[in-house]
Amino acid sequence: MDQPESSLPHAAVQKGQTPRREELVRLIAQSLYSLGYRKAAATLEAESGVPLYPPEHDRLLLDVMSGRWDACAATIDSLTGITERNRAVAEFLVWRGHFLELLGTGDAGLRLATEVLSRRIAPLAIDRRCVHWLARAVVTSEGAVAPEAVAECRIGLFLDLVEALPPWFRVPSGRLEHLVETAVIQQVASCIYHNLPDEVTLFEDHKCHEEQIPSDCTQILCAHKNEVWFVRFSNDGNYLASSSSDCTAIIWKEDGTIFN
């Protein structure tokens, strides 16, 4: 889990700064970190006043690692742009983590684990099979987290929470690269004269000109009795296959005669 090197305070969005600009800055910073340009990314955060992670991200991470479960639930409840189903899933992940840690303490935590199950987990609008599995774990101790494994499990819990929370909470890995690649693919797909074997550059909009399409008539093939729908040369360039709406396919030699 890549973390910024700087301890940048979460500055308020500057006056006149649009949400799109903030999103773009975060995308660029995430890309710089993933490419290894950590100082450049930290400088971008500092100069723009836009942190890579929103305040809710850092607060939830700290609360999860500290085992402040009520604070975790409060942060999740305050998030915007999240469906009620995903909110319930996120809260379930938090209380399940707490529940399994309590089970890992043995008989001392059994009563508290039962209370968490009945008061925190059971009322959530989630698949009841999840609740039944945890109820069974009270007897079997299946999934119980031993004290020495708590830190590792809390890291895993936070990563699971990120998957359930909205995209603005944490920029998906490789998001900027994905957007750029999608734009390139879309430009190529919309180019009606696309006929270039070379790679499309990012430095300009892609457009093939009509002049790049062969337009000089060098041979007229007259054997078909209706419109031709498809033609293709063989790999060695010595033969041409054509098919027509008259339900025929013809193999032509290079000189324009039909191959028997």
**Which residue numbers in the chain have pLDDT < 70?**
1-19, 195-198, 212-215
One-letter amino acid at 145 equals: V
Element (H, E) at 230: strand 228-233
Q: What is the pLDDT of residue 188?
A: 84
Q: For residue 117, give both structure tokens.
A: 């199950």
Is residue 171 a contact partner of residue 27, using CB atoms and an 8 Å limit? yes
**How far is it, in rounded angstroms, from Cα 18 to Cα 23?**
9
Q: What is the pLDDT of residue 210?
A: 73
156 SS3 class = helix
Q: What is the pLDDT of residue 57?
A: 94
Q: What is the pLDDT of residue 18?
A: 57
Domain boundaries, the chain: 53-169, 175-212, 217-259
Q: What is the pLDDT of residue 194?
A: 75
Give the C-alpha distances (Å, rounded to integers) separating 239 from 1, 229, 248: 56, 17, 16
Q: Would you give the distance in Å from CA 68 to the centre of its chain?
A: 29
Query: Is the alpha carbon torsion for 197, 203, 207, 210 positive or negative?
Result: negative
Backbone angles phi, psi at 134, to 5 degrees: -70, -35
* Other CB atoms within 10 Å distance of the CB of residue 54: 17
pLDDT of 209-230, one tens digit each? 777 666 677 777 788 888 888 8
